[in-house]
Each structure stands twice: as structure tokens, then as C-alpha cells.
Structure 1
Amino acid sequence: MKMRLTKDFRGSHSSSGLAMISDAECRKLIDMMSEGLVRTDAEHKFIFVNQQFSKMLGYPPAELVGHSMSEFVHADDSKLLLQQITERRRGKEGRYEIRWVAKDGHSIHTLVAARPVFDDDKHFIGSVAVLTDISDYKQTVQALAEAETMYRSLAEESLVGVYIIQDGRFVYANPKLADIFGYTPDEIVQEKTVMDLVAPESRALVEENIRRRIDKEVAGIHYSFKGMRSDGTTIDVEVYGSGITFRGKPAVLGTLLDVTEEKAMEESLRESEEKFRTLAENAAVAIGVIQGRHFVYANPYLIELSGYTLEELLKTDISEFIHPDFRNVILDRARRRQMGEDLPTHYEFKMIAKNGEERWMDMSLGRIQYGGKPAIVGVAYDVTERKKAEERERELEQTKREFYRRTILAATDGKLEITEREEIEPLIGEPLAFWDIAKGEDLSRIRHAVAEIAEAQGMDPSRRFDLALCAGEACTNALKHAGGGSASLHKVRDSLVLAVSDHGPGIETLTLPEVALVRGYSTAGTLGMGYKAILSVADKVYLATDPGGTTIAIVMRIEQMEDQRPVQGCLVFEKRSGITS
């Protein structure tokens, strides 16, 4: 049998010198082979397997010999095995791939080279085959196929253009790249050269960068150039490409982005920044940009106003420029504004210059992005002179009011005192009654109610009448000149006090003497009883008026004095803020 096997394996190659090798040496060579070697009979059963084939399947030779090949072939390849057996019976040699199932159950891919064996009478007696284990190769091929499928899927669905360039042409272009340039992928690959998609002014640059990667001068390049679409319009594109080997030849694999809009935005932003800087540099107002607690930009006016150099200004914490009275509020608002909170954008504060000088600033603020980070841009006007003028005006107004107060107090023999609203309210106490003044019908109701309460408090009839008239006149003024207000009646020791308040425009300082002393004078041009008439019957009147409204407090003793004259101090008010009674 051994001699027969050796003869079968030698076959028709005895002329090559194999005949000079002994059977023992031939058997030794067969067992040393790195490929599997098998011999089957006419029934396709193994009659010989070498050590390598035994090792491939994990079976010892004794468990293979005498068994049919079909017992060890993968079920999915059974039909292929039958086809190949038929070919051997017909005397044909064959090369094919087939899978076997190893003893531990895993599949083994093999490349088979088989030829038929005939006896001397030309009868088919089996086959002899050499089997090469290609499982690792198959796994590699499968992994490559999967990787290519995954790459192609990613490339096909990519939001950026993906390409492969070889020999000056595109060998691959994904749909996004085609869309960017206004073609289909097939048009780019089959009809266009690389330079067809590059604007003339950029062709030298692109050609050189492709050459550098093909020649492996650089591994990869990231740059921008002008592309040309199918309609002839130019676009700005940005690419990153690397040198690769594709199908055995040098190539460039890269990605491409259409950055036309971004470039336009960058140019617009650059122009806007240039305009802003030109405007800011020549503005007669302080303009600065703040990030965190430092200036990152300051225009010349701000630099001059602060007294610092630009370098000093940018290095100094902004708290150093803010007066202590405003520091905490402004720093807190700056922090919160940079975090995105909506806060007041306009306010006034005091700034401290390097030399310690205090300046009043009128500031308007906005939230911006500066250098990719949140920032605050501020525009500030120096309003120091305006503030000084307002302070002088307030002092003058106060002086005039004090002069008129003293003049009126003297002219009315102490009956009318010009004071402040906050000086009246704490002194008159809780009300006996309170009324809203909203419409004409309220005037009669209030007059009658005042008269009834005065009567209940023991006030004699003539004084009750006078108090009711005072109530009617004061409430009428509130309704006509301020659109309404409120009235209340109080008892303080031996007197009744009628208080009427409104939120109208108040009485101007210059008209106070006429209002108080001229009978029938009205600030609205309507004649009425007037404050002079009220003074003629009241024991004392307190008047507080400012742009926020007017409050009048009319004091009348419950009991009438014999000489009909008011007695100083009939209603004792504490002396507060220059108010005397």
C-alpha cells in the first residue's frame, strides 16, 4: 500500500527526479509538508492523510482514514464537494476553495489542488489533493471587506467631502464632494481631472501639495484654496489630505469642506471690527471691553480719562476704577451679565482716575463674544459737569424753598408752613376715617362725612362748616390737578387734622407765594377758594409739594378761641429738619 501511495503522489513527475527518491524519503517529505496532503479512494473515503492535514482538522490520522470526506466538510459546501468529485471521476484536475469543520467545531478555509488517480487499466480509483490552510487570509480579506464597507458607508453619508486622488484624477468622490462642486460622483470620477475643480489662481498650489504627499515629503497637509463649481463660480474650500497606497500605487486620501460662507462671515466680521475700531478710536466717549475683571480693550478716550497707560489699564482689576459706593453692585452685575443674565444695561456711577479724581459716568452696556469668550462692551459718557450743574440746581432750589418757606411762614403769622411729606405723615397718627378721591361724587360725600365726624368730636357748627369747606377745596384741587388722590381725618390732642394727598406734578417753587397768599389763585388757571381762603379759617396748614405730588394737612381746634385767632403751637409738632410750629 505504501508503495502504491508513493507512486500515486509521484504520479507523472518521475521524469523530474522524484523517482530517484526512495519511498521512505518520499514519506518523510510528505509528513514535513506545510500543506495538507490526502488520498481518497473511489468512494471518496480517506485512505491516507499527512500530519499537516491531521493537524488542521484536529483529528489523529486513525480517526480520518476510512471516513468519507463529506463527514468533515462544512454543510454549506457539501454541494461544492459533490461537484468536484464528479469532475475528478471525469478525469479533470481542479483548484477550488472549501471549508472543513475541525474537531473543536471551528471552520477551516482551504485552497485545494486535486487530481484524479487511475489504475493501469484506466479505471478511476480515487483522488489525491494538496490543501493549503487559508483561514487567516480569509479573515484578513473579510476584515478588509468589512473595513472598506464601513469606510464607504461613512464616506457616503459624510457631511464633508471625501476623495481619493491618483495620477491627477479622482478615483473616488463621495456624494458630498460632488454636491459641493455641482456634479455627480460618477461625473467627477469618470470625466474630471483634479484641476477641473480648482480655480486657475490656486492650481499651482494644489498641484504642488499633491506632489509633496505623493513623494512622501509630508505625511499630511491642511490648507485652503479656491475651488471651481460646475457653473463656473468660485468657492472657498479647506482640505486635509494624507498620502496613502491605493491598489498598489501612491495616492492622496483627503476631506474637503466648503467654507465660502465662513470666509464671507470672517471678512464681514473683520470689516465690522475695523469699523468698530475706527469709530471707537476716534469717539469722544469712553469705550471698553471687559472679560472677567479686566479690560481687554480700551479706546484712547477711556485711557486719557482714567489717567493710566494702556498697558496699566489692561493689567488693573476693574474694581480699582469704581468708587466704593458703587463697587459691589457693578462687580456683581458684571459677573452675572457675563454668565448670560439679563440685567439693567444703563446706569450712572462714579469712576476713580489714577490720580484719585472722581468722575461721574453715564454707562450703557451690552453682552458680546470677544475672542470666543463672553465679554461686556461698555460705552460711557463723562457727565461730571452735568452732575455738578444738577447739584447746584438742587442747592439753589433748596435755598429758594427755604426762603419761600420762611417768607410764607412769616407772612401768614406762622399759619402756613412749607415742609416735606415725610415730616407730616408720622405726626398726624392713625386716621379716624379715610377716603379715596376718584370722581366728582366723592367730593360731596367727603364734605358731609367730615362734618359728621367733626360734630361727633364736639366741634361747634361754624367751625364744622369751615372744616367741611376746607375739605371740599383741598379734595377738588386733588381731583382737578392730579386726577385724584386720598383724604383722611385725624385727631391730634385737641384738634382735628384733615390730610389730602395726590400724586400730581406738584407746585413749582416760584408759584408758592401766589398759591399761598393770593385769594383765588390756581396753578391750573381755574379760580376757586384757594389756599388763602383755607388759611383764613384754619388754625395751621402744612404744605408739602414736589414733582411726586402734594400733601396738605389742615389743622383746626375742636373748640373756638375767644379772639378767633390761632394760638401758636395749638398743634405741637416736634422740630424736624427745620420744621417748626
Structure 2
Amino acid sequence: MEKKAELLNILNQLQKSEEKYRQLIEQASDAIYILNYNGNFTDVNQSMCSMTGYTRDELLQMTITQLIDPEQLKIDPIKYVPPSAPETSTVRERRFAHKSGRLFDVEVNVKTFPNDRVMVIARDITVRKAMEADLINAELKFRTIADRSMVGIYIVQEGEFVYVNPRFAEVFGYTPEELIGKHPSSLVIHPNHRNEVDESIRARLSGEVESVHYETVGQRKDGSSNWIEFYGSRVMMSGVPSIIGTMLDITERKQAEEQILKEKESLLRSEANLQTIINNTDTAYALLDAQLNIVEYNNMALRYAQKEFNYDPALGTDLFSQIPADRMAKFREYVSRVLGGSPVSYEVSYPGGAGNSPIWYHVRMFPIAGRDQQILGLVFAASDISDRKRADYHLQQAYRNIQYHVESIKDMAWKQSHLIRSPLANLKALVDILRADPTDQLALDYLSSELERLDTVIIDMSKDATERTIYN
């Protein structure tokens, strides 16, 4: 009786164990099925039925080969395990055919037992395979685009390059194979800048920052330097923190920027020199737009406006309202010609100079045109030429005096020729008479009279010359 009770207890425990086993199989999300060594189904769970579209009874009447894609079986047939084979376990992929005819991929974990029993756990990996295919296609597209890109592209994982495109390598004089597997800064970054680049890589891989954009100095394979610009972001690739980014060779841009900076500095110096010259010149300069608004002027122009028109910029008055109407009309006539494209030059005077003499200016106006030759405004330049005008006046006066003296000399010469020569001729004749008869009283009287007449002519000429000198 005791043995019978013990046996019943063992059977009861086995039954409970089998029930638990059955519950586990039925509740499993993966498909589970059991085959014999001939490939016949001996048991299946509900997930297997759902995955294949067959009922449990239908599957128990089938063999595994009826579920596998025939094309796959041709190249990869099932190898049935001999009954004497030891317990084995393998994982592989198969392509099943759904009851509807649809093919789908499964991953099978096959466990072979000695008692003519093969237990298989199958999982539908259609989605995973599609994702893998998409990933392969995406990687292919990425490589196709990246390999042809004119921008350097790189990927860093675990502190080394895992991908660089041809352009990236070309910028530094390498091939992609020479850079892959190398530390990012060891070959392509100038030694003076490697620490900052290494810190940037570390910060991204550690998650401290997500992306960076910076410029630095690179180093080519031949040892020469170049300027490069990096854009890089942290991403997770296959669960590994990675950096993917782009690189641009900006050497030419940097050189151009440096040249522009030098030219700008030179321009600023030139502008400062020009301002110094303009503000210390004796010429008044003013820049006006096409509407006659004063855009810029120098110190002399301000003094010119203050002096000639009593213009006070502090009052905010319009300069042109201070100009007399008659002068303004003429000025607008000149402006119209200048804005039409023709330069104008003229002289103008204003009262109020030293000794009540007028102040003279030489005025020049010329158009300012843009690149499209459209007239944008004009430059007004006025130079004080009063000294020159006074010099011209005195020169003309001197010329007139010279002309007068020349005429005086001519007049004196005429007198010498006509007034002096007559008494002299008479004197010469009287001298000849007296030589013949020194006692001729009449000849002596004539001689005395002619000498007096000659003396009078000489005195008159002297007075005339004195009067001309005093007059001039």
C-alpha cells in the first residue's frame, strides 16, 4: 500500500509538472513546436498556429519541410538528426510560408534531444529583416552620397575614425584607408591645436555637449598647415556613442579674410589720412546728394558757409535758404548741369574783403556716379582765389604803367628829335659863321638866343618827365 501511495504521488507530481510545462509553452509569445527526427510535428503552441495561419490539428499532420520556402530548401535542405546523435543546439534563420502563401523570415533556436525529440523556438523576424535591409540601403545611400560629396564627412567611434569619405582624406593628403582606425587629431590636426580638438571629441562622446561648430588649424600629410571648419554631432550608432560630422577646407576663405582685413586697415589709414588732408586744406569740400542734401563736408566748407552766408549749423537752418535768390538761381542752373553728368567750373565774388575789396572763389562741381552710372550726387569745391585776383590786378596795373612809360619815352624821343635838333642845327651854323668872323655881333646874338631856347626845351622835358613819374 505504501509503494502504491508513493507511486501515485510521483505520478501526481509528474502530471502537475507536465501541466506547468504545457502552460509555459502555451503562454509563450514565441512560436514553439516539437518535431521527431523525421521532421513531423508532434506538438505546437498557439503562437505557432498564429504565426503560420494553420490550426494545431493541421500542423500535427504536416512536416517541417511543408512550412519552409521550397527555394530555400533547394540551397539549404534540412539535415535530419540520426537517432543516435547526442544532444545539440543551434540558432539559424529560415524562411517560412504562411498558409496564405506569404513568405516571412524566422529565427529558429533548435534543441535536439536523444529521445527522438527536437524542440524548436521560432520568432518572426520579418520586421527586423526589413529594418536590416533598410539599414543596408541607408548605409549604401550614405556611402554613395558621402563618397561623392565635395564636403569632408567623418564618423568617430570609441576615439578613432571608423569612416572618412575621399574628400575628407584628400584635404589632408591621405587616402581613407590611411585614416580609418586612427585617432582623429593625431594625423590631421596641427600639434598646437590638438588639445582643444581632443577636448571637443571627449565632450561629445561623453554626452556633455550634443554638437559643436568650430574652426581650427589642420596639418596635411606633407606637414603643411591649412584652415578647416568642423561641424559634428553626437549620435548613437548600434548602441555606441559616436560622432558624425562634416569638414570644410576654409584655407582660401581665411586667406581672403586676412587680405580683406589688411585692405580694410589700409583703407582706414587712407581714410584717416584723407580726412586729415581734407580738413587741413584751403579748399572747401562738400558732398551733396541728388536732392541737394549735404552728406559730408570739411572744416573749410563750414567756415565758407559761415563767412559768406552767416550759416550757423547749431540753429538747424537750411543753408540754401541763406543764399540770395539771384545767386541761388544761378547755383541751381549749375547744379542741373552737373546732375546731368557735366562738370562745372566758374569764379564768383562776394563783398567783405580787406579794404572793401571783394573775396573771390574758384568753384568746381563734378558729378558722383554709381556702378550703374546713375548720378548719385555731386562734389562742391570752392577755393579762395582773392590773393591771385589781387595779384592779377596789380600785374595789370604794372603793365599799364609800363605801357605809359613806354609812351612817355616815345614822346620824349620825339621831342628830342624835333625840339632839340632845331636849336642844335642853328647853333652849328652860327658856330661856323663865328669861326669865319668872331666879331660878328649878329651871329653872337643869334647864338645866345638859340642857347636859351635849347635850355628852355631841356627844362620843359625835365618837368614833363617829373610830372609823369608823380602821376604814375
Instruction: Give yes or no for TM over 0.5.
Output: yes
1:86 aligns with 2:66: no
State how far apart, in whole Å, the 2-side matches of 1:303 and 1:32 are. 102
Q: Cα gap change, 1:251/1:129 in structure 2, threshold over 3 Å: closer, same or farther?
A: closer
215, 226, 229: which is aligned to 2:220?
229
Q: Cα gap change, 1:381/1:113 in structure 2, threshold over 3 Å: closer, same or farther?
A: same
Q: Cα gap change, 1:204/1:72 in structure 2, threshold over 3 Å: closer, same or farther?
A: same
Is the 8 Å Cα contact of residues 238 and 259 (structure 1) preserved in structure 2?
yes
Q: Cα gap change, 1:196/1:117 in structure 2, threshold over 3 Å: closer, same or farther?
A: closer
Is the 8 Å Cα contact of residues 173 and 185 (structure 1) preserved in structure 2?
yes
363, 368, 374: which is aligned to 2:367?
363
Which residue in 2 is equivalent to 1:177? 168
1:149 aligns with 2:164: no
Cα distance, 1:88 vs structure 2:
5.9
**TM-score relative to the length of structure 1:** 0.46
Q: Cα gap change, 1:325/1:101 in structure 2, threshold over 3 Å: closer, same or farther?
A: farther
Mapping for residues 97-496 of structure 1, pairs under 5 Å: 97-116=93-112, 127-190=118-181, 194-246=185-237, 248-283=239-274, 284=278, 301=298, 348=343, 361-367=365-371, 380-382=378-380
Cα distance, 1:65 vs structure 2:
2.7
Higher Cα Rg, which structure: 2
Amino acid at match of 2:109: A
Q: Cα gap change, 1:301/1:384 in structure 2, threshold over 3 Å: closer, same or farther?
A: closer
State how far apart, in whole Å, the 2-side matches of 1:111 and 1:26 are. 22
Is the 8 Å Cα contact of residues 153 and 165 (structure 2) preserved in structure 1?
yes
Q: Cα gap change, 1:110/1:250 in structure 2, threshold over 3 Å: closer, same or farther?
A: same
State how far apart, in whole Å, the 2-side matches of 1:189 and 1:289 are. 63
Q: Cα gap change, 1:177/1:81 in structure 2, threshold over 3 Å: closer, same or farther?
A: closer
Cα distance, 1:46 vs structure 2:
2.8
Identity of aligned residues (%): 27
Cα distance, 1:94 vs structure 2:
3.1
State how far apart, in whole Å, the 1-side matches of 2:113 and 2:262 are. 88
Which residue in 2 is equivalent to 1:21? 16
Amino acid at match of 2:29: S
Q: Cα gap change, 1:81/1:197 in structure 2, threshold over 3 Å: closer, same or farther?
A: closer
Give the helix-richer structure, 1 or 2: 2
Which residue in 2 is equivalent to 1:433? none
1:63 aligns with 2:67: no
Cα distance, 1:228 vs structure 2:
0.9
Amino acid at match of 1:68: T
1:95 aligns with 2:99: no
Mapping for residues 521-540 of structure 1, pairs under 5 Å: none
Cα distance, 1:192 vs structure 2:
5.8
Q: Cα gap change, 1:213/1:114 in structure 2, threshold over 3 Å: closer, same or farther?
A: closer
State how far apart, in whole Å, the 2-side matches of 1:288 and 1:52 are. 91
74, 77, 88: which is aligned to 2:72?
77
Is the 8 Å Cα contact of residues 87 and 93 (structure 1) preserved in structure 2?
no
Amino acid at match of 1:57: T
Is the 8 Å Cα contact of residues 113 and 131 (structure 1) preserved in structure 2?
yes
Is the 8 Å Cα contact of residues 97 and 112 (structure 1) preserved in structure 2?
yes
Amino acid at match of 2:66: E
Q: Cα gap change, 1:136/1:101 in structure 2, threshold over 3 Å: closer, same or farther?
A: same
Residue 60 of structure 2 aligns to a residue whose secondary structure is coil
Which residue in 2 is equivalent to 1:30? 25
Cα distance, 1:263 vs structure 2:
0.9
Is the 8 Å Cα contact of residues 154 and 165 (structure 2) preserved in structure 1?
yes
Deviations along 1:99-147, one digit per CA (max 9) or x if unpaired, are 112234443322212244665xxxxx56432212223332333333332
State how far apart, in whole Å, the 1-side matches of 2:286 and 2:171 are. 47
Amino acid at match of 2:201: I
Deviations along 1:55-89, one digit per CA (max 9) or x if unpaired, are 1112222333312323322233223662x333466
Cα distance, 1:211 vs structure 2:
2.6
Is the 8 Å Cα contact of residues 88 and 116 (structure 1) preserved in structure 2?
no
Is the 8 Å Cα contact of residues 114 and 128 (structure 1) preserved in structure 2?
yes
Residue 208 of structure 2 aligns to a residue whose secondary structure is coil
Amino acid at match of 1:56: M
Is the 8 Å Cα contact of residues 93 and 114 (structure 1) preserved in structure 2?
yes
State how far apart, in whole Å, the 2-side matches of 1:48 and 1:86 are. 18
Is the 8 Å Cα contact of residues 88 and 127 (structure 1) preserved in structure 2?
no
Cα distance, 1:288 vs structure 2:
9.9
Which residue in 2 is equivalent to 1:46? 41
Amino acid at match of 1:367: R
Alignment gaps of 5+ in structure 1? 1-17, 120-124, 313-321, 331-343, 351-358, 369-374, 387-581
State how far apart, in whole Å, the 2-side matches of 1:255 and 1:230 are. 20
Amino acid at match of 1:97: E
State how far apart, in whole Å, the 2-side matches of 1:304 and 1:267 are. 37
Alignment gaps of 5+ in structure 2? 1-12, 279-284, 306-310, 317-330, 346-362, 385-472
State how far apart, in whole Å, the 2-side matches of 1:39 and 1:151 are. 44
Which residue in 1 is equivalent to 2:353? none
Deviations along 1:207-265, one digit per CA (max 9) or x if unpaired, are 22223223322211111111111111111111111223455443332211100001111
State how far apart, in whole Å, the 1-side matches of 2:57 and 2:334 are. 103
Is the 8 Å Cα contact of residues 170 and 194 (structure 1) preserved in structure 2?
no
Amino acid at match of 2:196: L
User: Aligned pairs, how many?
Assistant: 319
Cα distance, 1:180 vs structure 2:
0.5
